[in-house]
Structure 1
Amino acid sequence: MIQLNNISKVFSTKKHDDVVALANVSLEVKKGEIFGVIGYSGAGKSTLVRCVNLLEKPTSGDVIVNGQHLNDMSKEDLRANRQNIGMIFQGFNLLKTATVYDNIAIPLKLAGVATNEIPQRVDKYLQVVGLANKKDDFPNQLSGGQKQRVAIARALSHEPDILLSDEATSALDPETTDAILELLLKINKEFGITILLITHEMHVIQKICDRVAVMENGEIIEQGDVIDLYSNAKNETTKRFIQSIFPHDIPNDILDELSQKGPVISLTFVGTSANKPALSAVSKKFNVHTNILSGNIVQLKDKPFGKLIAHIEGDKVDTDQALAYLRDEGVQISEVTVS
């Protein structure tokens, strides 16, 4: 659906050295999936998503959407192909002096949609985003979440195959963010629209994404299925993002003291293993005591995922047997050591 092959983007300035925003980035987004790109500020993720519809023209590399090479297109052909790529932004980009209806209808008119079809499309997609009763309101009468729903309806009204989301929930409170994410999930499932979203929030990734790429300094440093990255992150930046969901800042002196009596371990529960009382069973089956030091269980789109830090107290033979049992139950285990 979307292929970015060795994309680089260099911004040239008169007074300073060139700025490399993207460096040989390659990415493939499959039809019908929700793909997330996460990174800290300045990582290059917004530049990357703007290269997909050539709002930013890459310095080098190839952009292929629906099998079409966008780099080689004339302005007219590119304009036509952009109709298949909807986009929503953090700042909503609504016309303040136009009603909700007109904020959706005017772009349709400019795109050449038949006049008699415009009201039907506006009504349809306002219904989809839950704002059918707001079409005569102005943006200053809406909440932030409602404004973003209007922006989503506007993007959907062109009936695109792809939806790009550039930090679309960053300006919203947590409850409204979750509501918008649920709406994006609904759009993906009901219309089969492929979604590429940019975010700096791990919560967004875990809630709706199938796959994710982590960016740093204009490069993709790690990518894969969300559950795989949560289970076995390789890069330190990825680990920091995951750590924000599963913090375990246990002081070294406590770790040192506990480790004298038995191992301090990190336990990762994926899918069905997250629903098993494996840790509590260990105390009953073996001559050990368990103590949970920190942890959390979250929902990764359609699979539960949990991570706990626990201390298992007992002699080495008993603790080794306990750890072997946990592994047999599908729990991923690593030892936590003094840093």
Structure 2
Amino acid sequence: MIELKNIEKNFVSNKKVVTAVRDVNLTVPAGEIHGVIGYSGAGKSTLIRCVNLLEQPSKGQVLIDGKDLTKLSASGLRKVRSKVGMIFQHFNLLKTVTVYENIAIPLKLAGVPKKELDARVQKYLQIVGLEDRATNYPAQLSGGQKQRVAIARALSLEPTILLSDEATSALDPETTDSILDLLLKINRELGITILLITHEMNVIQKICDHVYVMENGSVVEQGSTIELFTNPQHATTRKFLNTISQRQLSDSLIDSLHVTGDVTRLTFIGASTGQPALAEISKRFAVTPNILAANIIELKNGIVGNITVHLEGDNAAREQALQYLEQSGIQVEQLGGLVYA
């Protein structure tokens, strides 16, 4: 388990103290995948580097399985770090040696016997799907294959925790999906706890159990992934969600729709996404639903659907229809007179 308590990290720049991370508390239970999302400069890279003390926190505690890394001796810290793997955006492979050697080098440094070393390299090459690339050099690989080598290298010391520092941000969407599928496989089959940072909401969407939203060095919102996707509270969270779902309609689209009056956002969770809810209220009540935007998002642990709708009808009929929707397990949010957030 990873636990950060009141973490603060300060840097000195031009004789001024700059706080990159302030009072962050974070807990990742064993076996889960948690994500930290934020825009550039939010402090997320500094935060994840505090987890294995690549950055020494200015204040606070870093606990791995109950041990406070900030109080360990150098040898004690090395022992804990051997159980914390890390992958990076730019792979950090040695260009002059083969894929096999890139994975084997940390094992050699750790004193792993030759026979066991070979078995581990072959094992993790197979896990990442590159068993036929052992003798290739990094220049002969695609970006996705290079990242798979980096993942195999991180796994070779058989860590219980894997840290991911923007590991997919240099990859195209299709390759990103394949790497995320691999991380899910690693988590599921090897039981490795994963903490990742990203600025891509689709990464959070696909593999995370829990998410932390950072801004200006602080965590401004956190919760289970499904909670944040269905009921975001902070403006930054809503901005991120708008990158994958049309929660906000443009002014030009609003003008082209010629809609007047209140607009409602309906959020469907899990089984409710399969309900013909709008068809039902049009039959039961004197309302006509006018769909302005809609989408369905598949999360790791559930499905969320959003429909932005204008109900045409008198006030009493609209109120009855909305009450029926709420009773059916659908979240109803009145957006007002075409005011979107």
Q: TM-score range, shorter-chain basis?
A: over 0.9
Q: What is the deviation of 1:280?
A: 2.0
1:102 paired residue number: 101
Q: What is the alpha-carbon distance in structure 1 between the residues aligned to residue 81 and residue 204 of structure 2? A: 25
Shift of 1:254: 4.1
How far has the Cα of 1:228 moved from its partner? 0.7
**Structure 2: how far apart are the matches of 1:37 and 1:295?**
27
CA distance in 2, matches of 1:17, 1:265: 48
Partner residue in 2 for 1:334 = 333
C-alpha offsets along residues 91-124 of structure 1, whole Å, 9 cap, x if unaligned?
Answer: 0010000100000001110012122210000000
TM-score (norm: length of structure 1): 0.96
**Is the 2:226–2:301 Cα contact (8 Å) retained in structure 1?**
no
Q: Cα offset for 1:302?
A: 2.9
Q: Residues of 1 paired with 2:12 and 2:317: CA distance?
A: 63
Q: Structure 1 unaligned runs (5+)?
A: none
Give CA deviations for 1:177-225 in whole Å, capped at 9, x if unaligned.
0010010001000011000000001000010000000000010111110
After TM superposition, the structure 1 = structure 2 runs for residues 285-300 of structure 1, keeping only pairs within 5 Å, are 285-300=284-299
Q: 2:231 — aligned with what? A: 232
Number of residue-to-residue matches in the alignment: 336
Which residue in 2 is equivalent to 1:132? 131
Tell me what 2:83 maps to.
Answer: 84
Q: 1:25–1:220: 8 Å Cα contact kept in structure 2? A: yes
Instruction: Give distance in 2, aligned partners of 1:155 and 1:303.
Output: 30
User: How many angstroms does 1:291 deviate by?
Assistant: 1.5
* Structure-1 separation of matches of 2:268 and 2:198: 25
Residue of structure 2 equivalent to 1:34: 33
Which deviates more from structure 2 when the two are superposed, residues 243-252 or residues 19-28?
243-252
Write the distance in 2 (CA, Å) between the matches of 1:300 and 1:288: 32
Q: Which residue in 2 is equivalent to 1:152?
A: 151
Q: CA RMSD in A?
A: 1.5
Q: Is the 8 A contact 1:255 1:264 kept in 2?
A: no
Name structure 2 gaps, 5 residues minimum. none
Paired residues for 1:236-255 under 5 Å = 236-247=235-246, 248-251=248-251, 254=255
Report the alpha carbon displacement of residue 328 of structure 1 after superposing the two structures with TM: 1.3
Partner of 1:315: 314
Q: Secondary structure at the match of 1:326?
A: helix
1:310-335 per-residue CA deviation (whole Å, 9 max, x = no partner) reads 11101111111111111111110111
Distance in 1 of aligned mates of 2:257 and 2:249: 14
Structure 1 residue 278: Cα displacement: 0.9
Cα distance, 1:308 vs. partner?
1.2
Q: Could you tell me how far apart the structure 1 residues matched to 2:161 and 2:142 are?
A: 26
Describe the shift of the 1:256–1:130 C-alpha distance in structure 2 as closer, same or farther (beyond 3 A). closer
Tell me what 2:270 maps to.
271
Query: Is it true that 1:71 corresponds to 2:64 in the alignment?
Result: no
Alignment partners' CA distance in 1, 2:61 and 2:199: 26
Q: Percent identity?
A: 57
1:116 and 2:105 equivalent? no
For the pair 1:3 / 2:17, whether they are aligned, the reply is: no
